[in-house]
Amino acid sequence: MSIEVHNLMEDIVLRDVDNIMKACGCCTCEQCRTDVVTYALNHLPPHYIATNIGRMMVELQSLEYQSRTDILAAVSEAARLVAEKPRHDQKN
Ligand SMILES: [Zn+2]
């Protein structure tokens, strides 16, 4: 049996990112959204759980409660940076 791990921080950031980006007036195209999510996740501590324990919702709520301010700050900062320097019109 293999145990899978999952970063709960990712769920929280993905859930909040759209609202925060809209509130910041940030472009919400796929490129900008990906940049915001990546930046925010790189500036937040990961929180891994084993996905087979069935306690995901409890863990999620508890993590969100503890880290709410940090998460909002990291995502807002990311949205601000991306809004200043969007990469969506750059050619790769
Ligand atoms: Zn964009």
pLDDT in tens, 20-69: 999 989 999 999 999 999 999 999 999 998 876 667 778 888 888 889 99
From ligand 1's centre to the CA of 27, what distance in Å? 5
Confidence of residue 13 (pLDDT cuts 50, 70, 90): very high
90, part of any domain: no
Question: Which of 70, 77, 91 has its CA nearest to residue 39?
Answer: 77
Paired residues of 76 in beta bridges: none
Residue 29 lies in a domain: yes
91 in a structural domain: no
State the Cα–Cα distance between residues 67 and 45, nearest whole angstrom: 10
State yes or no: pLDDT of 91 exceeds 60.
Answer: no
Residue 65 lies inside a defined structural domain of this protein: yes
Q: How far is the CA of 66 from the centre of ligand 1 (A)?
A: 31
- Tell how far the Cα of 82 is from the centroid of ligand 1, in angstroms: 8
The count of structural domains within the chain is: 1
Asked if residue 39 is part of any domain, the answer here is yes
**Domain with 9 in it:** 5-84
Structural domain contains residue 33: yes
